[in-house]
A and B are shown apart, each in its own frame.
Chain A
Amino acid sequence: MSNKLNHSMSLATPDAQDISTKQKIALAIGLIGLFILVLALFNVNFPNKGLFLTLSLGLITIGTVVYSRDAYLTKVKGIKNDGVWFKSISSRGAWGWAVGVILTIFYIVLYFYPQYLGLGKNGEANTGLISLFDPLSNLLSGRSASQWFVYGTLYTVAIFAFGYKFILKYRHNRYEQIRTISVMFFQLAFAFLIPEFMYRMNSNLPYYDLKSVWPLNYYIFDEWSVKGFLSNGNIGLALIIFGILSVFVITPILTYKFGKRWYCSWVCGCGGLAETAGDSFRQLSSKKMSAWKLERWLIHVVLVFSIVMTVGMVYTYLDNDGTKYWLTKGVFISIVIGFLTLVFAAVLYFKGKELGKDAKYGAIGFFVIVGLLLVMHFTGTTDEIFFIKGRKLRSAYGLYIGSIFSGVIGTGFYPILGSRSWCRFGCPMAAILGFQQRLFSKFRITTNGGQCISCGNCSNSCEMGIDVRAYAQKGENIVRSSCVGCGVCSAVCPRGVLKLENDSLEGRINPTEILLGNDVDLMNLVNKK
């Protein structure tokens, strides 16, 4: 049997891998901070909310910082994965399931029952947990907190506290450190502070996290959002143009140069949380071939859904009459189909051979989308598409994809499915970036000749479930649409086999059968076949 699989079921001492006294104290400090939040949740009315909020978030942060310093700074720098598969919390033990259940409940309440968090209905004052965050919200944007503000604050605190932990864990690795500082910055500035300040400057502008690109922020082209932007003059117009440029210009260029990692593990908030708070769970992602197959179907189905849904939403608020505004329903559908056809034809022309069987699946996806759009155009009315209310389609997407998939499963199931199940199976943005990365990017993970010993540390630590070893042991570079470029496979490799790099497109994909180091004639013979 595999070693140490019989986890202790005791919650008090989950494992013999004891933590130090200092770490216990740190844990206690952090738990006191959490406990304040729990008290607030159960409507304990704190006298000075600002003070207690500071105290709570401060204690959580201090606890994590002290714990991390004791865990990593007391040891020689290097890879720190000892006992990861023994600890109950990081190996789907009792603690792992407990945390998973708590997180899942939190997300369900957050998305569907915010009143239990204390959200004031119909303009009433907040109570409970949300009211604890009122002082901070007032300070930043001059309005009371919402459940999203609470969530955003906790999210940012988590990325900072665990980001600090991650930086210490990888203090020998500058790629990991700089990348982590980057996600901390983008979370704090772009996702948390700037939207609040924007509200302060102009309270009519819709919430806009500038780094969140369609289709990740699937609501940006909704009627209320577009109208919100357009009714705010130049700044609003600039923002919506920026939104369109992000998708069609900025994103492809950056992905071409750096791979999708520029976004997924350097900028994105979902990625940021996965890389910091989720780091302890990265090894839980499934590396099975069957999981990969599921991934490819699921993520592309979500992509198709999000494209059709967005086009449908825009479609419903456009006019049929070209005299009022040039962009009519017909023109819009033609542009969309024309663009998709252009992309599809270009890919087939340039990369059809390389894609082989996958081209067939791509074609199916393309014709499904075009077919759906045509059906929509010829059956749709001003508010109905596919014979149902456009709003309903939109809210179904928001519910199943935006809330349940990305939040409840994506984060709530961290301790069960690993830290990136949303990014891997669901995120339509990751699908688009992955498509670009696979086909037109300078990025790859280079395999170092014949040095691989098939140990499996790389695959084990891949949060996206890529079987990195399967490539490395064949001497083949890793070019996978799902790779977010976190760099941990390269870090944990004991033989220096893997390197993330941007280089020329030529020789980027290098299928080999005989690795470097064996007789040259044999290599030629077998590889040329």
Chain B
Amino acid sequence: MEHIVIIGNGISGISLARHVRKNSDKKITVISAETDYFFSRTALMYVYMGHMKFEHTQPYENWFWKKNRIDLLKGFVTKVDHENKTLLLNNSKSFSYDKLVIATGSKPNKFGWPGQDLKGVQGLYSKQDLDDLEANAPNNKVCKRAVIVGGGLIGIEMAEMLRSRNIPVTFLVREDSFWNGVLPSGESKMINEHILEHHIDLRLSTNLDKILADENGKARAVVIKETGEEIACDVVGLTAGVSPNIDFLKDSGIELSRGVKVNRFLETNIKDIYAIGDCAEQHEAIGSRRPIEAVWYTGRMMGETLAQTICGNPTEYKPGHWFNSAKFLDIEYQTYGWVFAGGPARKEYEEHFHWRHPKEKICVTIAFNKDTKEFLGINTFGIRMRHEVFDRWLTEKQDVDYVINNLEKANFDPEFYKHFEKDILSAYKNNLQTA
């Protein structure tokens, strides 16, 4: 019986294991050094905030794995020997495979800041990071202030977590507005306001210079690069993005760049070794997607796809239209298709229509081709949209007028919610007249 070994029990590795089991009788082993069972990484924040307990982040009950004959092995793979098709576990035990899948995910970025390895300095990615945060910042007496470095999705989540325990938070953002490399300015500004509303000390256009230690080797303050200001703190959160967690593959012969290089079949340069999820890097980007996509659902999709290939139905990884979602404190965000804030990704034909509610934190940005009127994508804040409808409209290449006139069909807000399609439509018409 062919033995499929998967390194990593995150969403991509587990999706793969489940689908291989559905389609075959192969022996499956999932190796992880992080936790005994698969859990939802994106839910770690809710454990710290007390919305859930850690076991609630586990989507399958513990009996599930045995019942489905998916062997779980706790251990750290220190070496891959592809010539003998073996792994070295914890530097001691040898373990053989027939097909190997690397699904080791990411690790938080560190940019060589002085003091980045002190006690009390941490990222927020793994279960261990959550345990560290619980130890470093159990309450606002032990942690009198936390400084978060990096204005992205994890940064704002970490700020929300700490605020839930009334810990004062200073939030250092390199850009001049929150996440404006991704969000168009109107949206980014609205989130700035919302961050302040939550009593978070938001510092825009601010970089970290260094982290200072106390006599015990624990972080006691950060120094701001621009002003030299020293901010006393007990915890420093490093949330400046993530990168593939592949250090253990350095001399394995597997082709690496930032991530593990794979083709569209998710195969590496070495036969019978594959990579999926956050740690996989496409030779060439697919559409406007990045070569490395550290997104929950792409990890899942790569797992689903590779399972087909492994079970004898070679299948290319072909993600459909881009979509994503997130929540910034109390504001839900969804995106379908592409809305580029700026930079090289935004072509000169991409024009935006932006509508924002006069009082509430609700807004919409619709991107379209100003020459052909083709609808390109939408960002919504505080309004839920139906994935299926936008996926269809993008496939049909609907024009922007159609989309705005039919916006109600895509609404996914709970019943009795106020609708804003009329306001959006009239703003759009006014906009056309003035433009």
Query: Quick one: closest B residue to A470, CB to CB?
Result: B59
Q: How far is the CA of A16 from the CA of B50 in the complex (A)?
A: 13
> Across the interface, do B61 and A518 meet the contact criterion of CB distance under 8 Å?
no
Which residues in window 449-501 of A have CB below 8 A to B?
Answer: 449-451, 453-457, 459-460, 469-470, 473, 487, 490-492, 494-496, 499-501
Known: A82-B164, A454-B40, A496-B325. A175 touches B415 (CB 8 A): yes
Known: A455-B42, A513-B22. A518 touches B318 (CB 8 A): yes
Q: How far is the CA of A3 from the CA of B134 in the complex (A)?
A: 7
B30 to chain A: closest CB distance in Å? 16
Chain A binder among B96-104, B273-281, B294-302: B294-302
A486 to chain B: closest CB distance in Å? 11
> Across the interface, do A456 and B40 meet the contact criterion of CB distance under 8 Å?
yes
Q: Interface residue count for A (Cβ, 8 Å)? A: 62
> Across the interface, do B304 and A455 meet the contact criterion of CB distance under 8 Å?
no
> Across the interface, do B134 and A4 meet the contact criterion of CB distance under 8 Å?
yes
Which residues in window 190-209 of B have CB below 8 A to A?
Answer: 194, 197-198
> Across the interface, do A494 and B304 meet the contact criterion of CB distance under 8 Å?
no
Q: Is A225 an interface residue (CB 8 A)?
A: no
> Across the interface, do B417 and A495 meet the contact criterion of CB distance under 8 Å?
no
Q: Is B308 an interface residue (CB 8 A)?
A: yes
Known: A16-B139, A451-B334, A516-B387. A85 touches B53 (CB 8 A): yes
> Across the interface, do B320 and A517 meet the contact criterion of CB distance under 8 Å?
yes
B396 to chain A: closest CB distance in Å? 13
Chain B window 46-66, contacts with chain A (Cβ cutoff 8 Å), 1 for yes, 0 for no: 111111111111110100000
B313 to chain A: closest CB distance in Å? 8
Q: Is B130 an interface residue (CB 8 A)?
A: yes
Residue in B52, B334, B414 whose beta carbon sits within 8 Å of that of A499 in the complex: B414
> Across the interface, do A3 and B54 meet the contact criterion of CB distance under 8 Å?
yes
Q: Which residues of B contact A516 (CB under 8 A)?
A: 320, 387-388, 391
Query: Quick one: closest B residue to A518, CB to CB?
Result: B301
Residue in A84, A174, A518, A520 whose beta carbon sits within 8 Å of that of B304 in the complex: A518
Q: Interface residue count for B (Cβ, 8 Å)? A: 67
Q: Is B386 an interface residue (CB 8 A)?
A: yes
> Across the interface, do A454 and B43 meet the contact criterion of CB distance under 8 Å?
yes
Q: How far is the CA of A400 from the CA of B253 in the complex (A)?
A: 70
Q: Which residues of A contact B49 (CB under 8 A)?
A: 81-83
Q: How far is the CA of A123 from the CA of B417 in the complex (A)?
A: 53
Known: A457-B43, A491-B414, A499-B384. A520 touches B330 (CB 8 A): no
Q: Which residues of B contact A469 (CB under 8 A)?
A: 59
Q: How far is the CA of A473 from the CA of B297 in the complex (A)?
A: 10
Q: Is A522 an interface residue (CB 8 A)?
A: yes
Q: Is A10 an interface residue (CB 8 A)?
A: no
Q: How far is the CA of A283 from the CA of B52 in the complex (A)?
A: 9
> Across the interface, do B318 and A459 meet the contact criterion of CB distance under 8 Å?
no
- Please indicate which of the listed interface residues B53, B57, B165 has the most CB atoms of chain A within 10 Å of its own CB: B53
Q: Which residues of B contact A175 (CB under 8 A)?
A: 414-417
- Please indicate which of the listed interface residues B48, B56, B194, B315 has the most CB atoms of chain A within 10 Å of its own CB: B56
Q: How far is the CA of A5 from the CA of B47 in the complex (A)?
A: 11
> Across the interface, do A457 and B50 meet the contact criterion of CB distance under 8 Å?
no
Q: Is B327 an interface residue (CB 8 A)?
A: yes
Residue in A4, A448, A521 whose beta carbon sits within 8 Å of that of B387 in the complex: A448
Query: Quick one: closest B residue to A289, CB to CB?
Result: B61
Which residues in window 222-237 of A have CB below 8 A to B?
Answer: none
Q: Is A519 an interface residue (CB 8 A)?
A: yes
Q: How far is the CA of A283 from the CA of B320 in the complex (A)?
A: 36
Query: Quick one: closest A residue to B390, CB to CB?
Result: A449
Query: Quick one: closest A residue to B157, CB to CB?
Result: A494
Q: Is A178 an interface residue (CB 8 A)?
A: yes
B16 to chain A: closest CB distance in Å? 13
Chain B window 301-320, contacts with chain A (Cβ cutoff 8 Å), 1 for yes, 0 for no: 10011001000010111111
Q: How far is the CA of A449 from the CA of B330 in the complex (A)?
A: 22
> Across the interface, do B318 and A522 meet the contact criterion of CB distance under 8 Å?
yes
Q: How far is the CA of A79 from the CA of B51 in the complex (A)?
A: 10
B239 to chain A: closest CB distance in Å? 18
Q: Is B76 an interface residue (CB 8 A)?
A: no
Known: A4-B134, A494-B332. A85 touches B52 (CB 8 A): yes
> Across the interface, do B57 and A456 meet the contact criterion of CB distance under 8 Å?
yes
Q: How far is the CA of A446 from the CA of B319 in the complex (A)?
A: 23
Q: Which residues of A contact B400 (CB under 8 A)?
A: none
Q: How far is the CA of A17 from the CA of B165 in the complex (A)?
A: 7
> Across the interface, do B51 and A450 meet the contact criterion of CB distance under 8 Å?
no
> Across the interface, do A454 and B330 meet the contact criterion of CB distance under 8 Å?
no
> Across the interface, do A85 and B50 meet the contact criterion of CB distance under 8 Å?
yes
Q: Which residues of A contact B139 (CB under 8 A)?
A: 16
Q: Which residues of B contact A333 (CB under 8 A)?
A: none
Q: How far is the CA of A84 from the CA of B48 in the complex (A)?
A: 11
Q: Is B418 an interface residue (CB 8 A)?
A: yes
> Across the interface, do B330 and A78 meet the contact criterion of CB distance under 8 Å?
yes
A279 to chain B: closest CB distance in Å? 14
Q: Is A364 an interface residue (CB 8 A)?
A: no
A274 to chain B: closest CB distance in Å? 20
> Across the interface, do A3 and B387 meet the contact criterion of CB distance under 8 Å?
no
7 nearest CB pairs, A to B:
A449-B387, A78-B330, A519-B318, A496-B384, A455-B43, A83-B50, A2-B54
Beyond A174-B417, A450-B323, A490-B414, 20 extra complex contacts between A and B, CB < 8 Å: A2-B55, A4-B50, A78-B329, A78-B330, A83-B164, A85-B52, A86-B50, A87-B50, A175-B416, A448-B384, A451-B323, A453-B43, A456-B40, A456-B56, A495-B332, A499-B414, A518-B301, A518-B320, A519-B315, A519-B316
- In the complex, 21 of the A-B residue pairs with CB atoms within 8 angstroms, ordered by the A residue number, are A2-B47, A3-B48, A82-B50, A82-B164, A84-B50, A448-B412, A449-B386, A454-B59, A455-B57, A487-B414, A495-B332, A499-B413, A500-B415, A514-B304, A515-B297, A516-B391, A517-B323, A519-B305, A520-B320, A525-B308, A526-B304
